[in-house]
Structure 1
């Protein structure tokens, strides 16, 4: 029987699938049609799902969020030139937050490269900063191996890998014996045990401390249970970075909430009163405001993260779960620290009183952010994924929303406005059985308004809470803080709830705090994408 011929794109897409990529976000166009056809064929067999977006930037943000939530890579697709450059902001988000994403870009014909032809951009130069791997697919390439290397680079480095497909190469036939690649024998287990000397020194510092605290970062994602068990055994308060919000419920008796500019007063007060910081999977980024004058043990699987922003008392390279288990063994004969639970409960009670007072404020200019997130705390399912945007709405969420076990996604290190709704799209694909909520401001959603039609088209049941204060509130505050005139921060907005209805989604407009719970209840009950537009007071954040 005559074997069926296969082309370059088909071989490389099959390799992509073998490495575990099952979702591609992007836009089909004239310089990626051969690659798109190979993707389409695998969509028909059920091996891939393709999400056709309205703007390539949304594709990259969605792929980044998919990887943040699942730990698995997703891909994004574009044409040459402007389509490829549109991907870059979302790819920088993946690069800076250290998650694996594959960027597949079309390109002009090989014989036109270097001639400044229509839509020709030097994509390797354009992607150099955002991608750890960037190669062009040529006729003479080892095509399956090139995809193997791209996938390995993305996974091992937790970064962006980029492949450029010239138009004339995409449908070239490959040798009939060419087989797709796979990860078999290519990836090692990432379980690094800490040096015994470091564990012993950490135990010594811990034994001398009277008031240690644990700061959990996003690097604790796979070690939460171990870390919480350690804290319970030794009576240690737990606080998280913003990226790790939701790793422990705020109702936990040792929980202090989020630390930093977006955090709670209990977290800051408890940290300032500590005499040892156990920083797990967290960078000392300025936003988090980890104290510099308190001794710190920093544990991370990535050695480059240790002491990155400032020197620490003891940097420990190792898997967090293994490190905490080893530290627990080293402390097995020690006595637990003084119980902080009663004091933390008292602080939470005071903070909830403060939040209730702020939620009840009404200056006649809209609903307070505290009231919005108090209602969200009551109504959001415990297993939800919440994708945040950037701005005052995000700061208020970190401060006022009380997590149960919801997972939070955000553009952490890049801090890109507009990322929230595309991230919710990525979350819907990565976790189709979990409720997905997007929280944005009017400024952020305005950047990717068209993606609401994408959610409708693909039946993504995103519940969108949109805080509309008709301005870029965070920018206005920064201008005031810098003693500058507030300028060019006002926004001319549509009626977002009506816009949602026009797009085929459910739109609900809330002008009174009294109606918040009912609106959220309606949105979560709706079988499809729903948008709850809340008219908020820009000063009550």
Structure 2
């Protein structure tokens, strides 16, 4: 027997029962007529906590349904079928002790098979919340974490877990997992998972579920999880007792990786702990094809002919070209073609490159729009042509993508070229016959940057009605953010300023691109830190976005996440105010009642500083970047400065 001290002698009063942890068990310990008794804490009726009950007529009364139990023998008034185990108790000079047998050796469960398979696929990072309907899965994750095979980050809201996992997938191309309980815990995941779906990031979502015996009967937190996840997930299945459990996890992850989306498994509470000693785990061996697709000959020849006829081609890259930028840039250099990016692809080429023009579209630079307007051919790699990209619908266009449904999705293009971006670039380079009058556009790109940088300096120095101009904040970030940083950007007015003014070096930039979900920024920084803890992580948010997940600052402090948070506080949902004005509506319900964010951050245990004077900006940001842990710089900005 293992003896455990549960209380000092003076703590119990006669006639009291309380819940006491004893190793990994909990027992109901009672002092009655000077004697101590210990019985199992779980009522056999529906699991009610006996230690939270009352002592009446020398019996412990279950707080849930009123069943009575003898505090010394465990005998139940309802008959021997309801008797509960008892445990030895000793009142020693230094306290009350209860003995239990050492825990039995662990028997492998269905949850172990699922987690082992997940680890075999390289998924070793999980964000989530543990609760009553995912405890079996949580225990398997705990065992893996104790063995050093997995990292688990407990969050304050499941939405943050899903955003963090989505950001991890966007940065690495590999899935992380997010975990929720049945009902609201899983539905809270959905917004972050829709972000992953919209931006084609691989994510594994794990849901606990109610017991199989009560599913579909309207039990507590019983919802149809497969229906709830049907639209957001590329693969969503319930794990039943008779399932091939490892194979279901393999299929969830294979779909998530190959289709760049959400793989989802829901596991009923009772299934999670079923014995699975002989069930094999699964893995990726022999299951993953080479996805590099060569372009078909006929459209490739058409593309070569279009390029041969162009004197001012430009290259436009989207996030789909992220992993093939070396090949894209080499092709652009051969053609002296300016390189424009969508906002979601910001940072995929350094703005210091002589052909780089920055972002095209609503969050873009006048350099990019100028060069596109003068182009006679657009070579578009891995971009969607959505209405926010700003890609001209009137220019001859070669569109390259690995997804046939994306080609010409919004309007017909001159040459839809199906294939891997890198393979297509190589094939085009091998066959190029540039126009004899091909224009070297680099001097014009440099000239347009000179004009724009002069204007940026003017805007950064402009006097704001209150606080600091947004342009000044981004210019300070230009000077101070390390070249190898990962930047996560929330949704709001500050994002437009960031896209327009920030010039990337080798930084990676993550955002909620097509879903455009406010609140993305800080949880995404947690995911980026988990994916790349050795890189500086900087998140740029507004007060509206951070307000949705500000409790996650305590998560960052708990795990020592080295995140520098640049918070632009203008006291308003300023982007919505702008939209109301543009529609000639009254500005209504966009003002915000904010806390002192810097004081809040200090209360959470983070480094923080508040800036209202532009002269203090650089020092505050530099100090936050140097701090080895979570740091917040709250900058009061003018909602009318852009």
TM (norm. structure 2) is 0.83
Instruction: Please give the secondary structure, in 1, of the residue aligned with 2:358.
Output: strand
Quote the offset at 1:335 in angstroms: 4.8
Partner Cα separation in structure 2 for residue 4 and residue 499 of structure 1: 43
Task: Give the aligned partner of residue 577 of structure 2.
Answer: 476
Deviates more, 1:178-187 or 1:357-366: 357-366
Aligned partners of 2:268, 2:173: CA distance in 1, in Å? 30
Note if 1:162 corresponds to 2:264.
yes
In the alignment, the residues of structure 2 paired with residue 249 and residue 180 of structure 1 have an alpha-carbon distance, to the nearest angstrom, of 43
Find 1:373's aligned residue among 460, 474, 477: 474
How far apart, in 2, do the equivalents of 1:514 and 1:401 lie? 19
Which one has more relative contact order, counting CA pairs under 8 Å at least 6 apart?
1
Q: Does 1:257 align with 2:364?
A: no
2:123 maps to which of 17, 21, 32: 21
> Which of 385, 393, 402 is residue 503 of structure 2 equivalent to?
402
Question: 2:154, 2:555 within 8 Å by CA — same for their partners in 1?
Answer: yes
Tell me the residue number matched to 1:462. 563
TM-score relative to the length of structure 1: 0.98
SS in structure 2 at match of 1:111: coil
Q: Structure 1's 42 and 292: CA in aligned 2 closer, same or farther, altered over 3 A?
A: same
CA distance in 1, matches of 2:355, 2:323: 20
Could you say what secondary structure the match of 1:103 adopts? Answer: strand
Question: C-alpha deviations, 1:216-267, integer Å up to 9, x for none?
Answer: 1111111111111111122111110111111111111111110000000010
Matched residue of 1:257: which SS? strand
User: Counterparts of 1:351-390 in structure 2 under 5 Å?
Assistant: 351-390=452-491
Q: CA RMSD in A?
A: 1.1
Report which stretch shifted further, 244-253 or 335-344: 335-344
Task: Indicate the residue corresponding to 2:24 in structure 1.
Answer: none
Q: Which of these two proteins has the greater Rg computed from alpha carbons? A: 2
Given candidates 182, 193, 197, the residue that maps to 1:91 is 193
- Equivalent residue for 2:241? 139
Which structure is higher in strand share? 2
- Structure 1 segments (4+ residues) deviating >3 Å: 332-336
| Matched position secondary structure for 1:213 | strand
State how 1:123-272 maps to structure 2 within 5 Å.
123-174=225-276, 176-272=277-373
Say if 2:209 is the partner of 1:107: yes
- Structure 1 residue aligned with 2:400, among 299, 315, 336? 299
Structure 1 residue 401: deviation in Å? 0.6
CA-CA distance at 1:333 after TM superposition = 7.3
User: Once the 2 structures are TM-superposed, how far is the Cα of residue 433 of structure 1 from its aligned partner?
Assistant: 1.1
Distance in 1, Cα, partners of 2:107 & 2:602:
47
Structure with a larger share of its residues in helix: 1
Deviations 1:412-445 (A, max 9, x none): 1100000100000000011111110000000000
Return the offset for 1:5: 3.6
Residues 377-526 of structure 1 mapped to structure 2, 5 A cutoff: 377-526=478-627
Distance 1:249 1:515 in 2: 28
How many residue pairs get matched? 538
Name which of structure 1's ranges 23-32 and 219-228 shifts more when overlaid on structure 2. Answer: 219-228
Partner of 1:94, secondary structure, is helix
The CA distance in 2 between the partners of 1:392 and 1:334, in whole Å, is 42
Alpha-carbon separation, structure 2, partners of 1:5 and 1:380: 50
Task: Pick from 155, 158, 164 the counterpart of residue 53 of structure 1.
Answer: 155
- Give yes or no for the alignment of 1:71 onto 2:173: yes
2:109 maps to 7
Range that drifts further, 56-65 or 331-340: 331-340
Per-residue CA deviation, residues 328-382 of structure 1 (Å, 9 max, x unaligned), is: 1111676582111111111111101111111111133121111000000000000
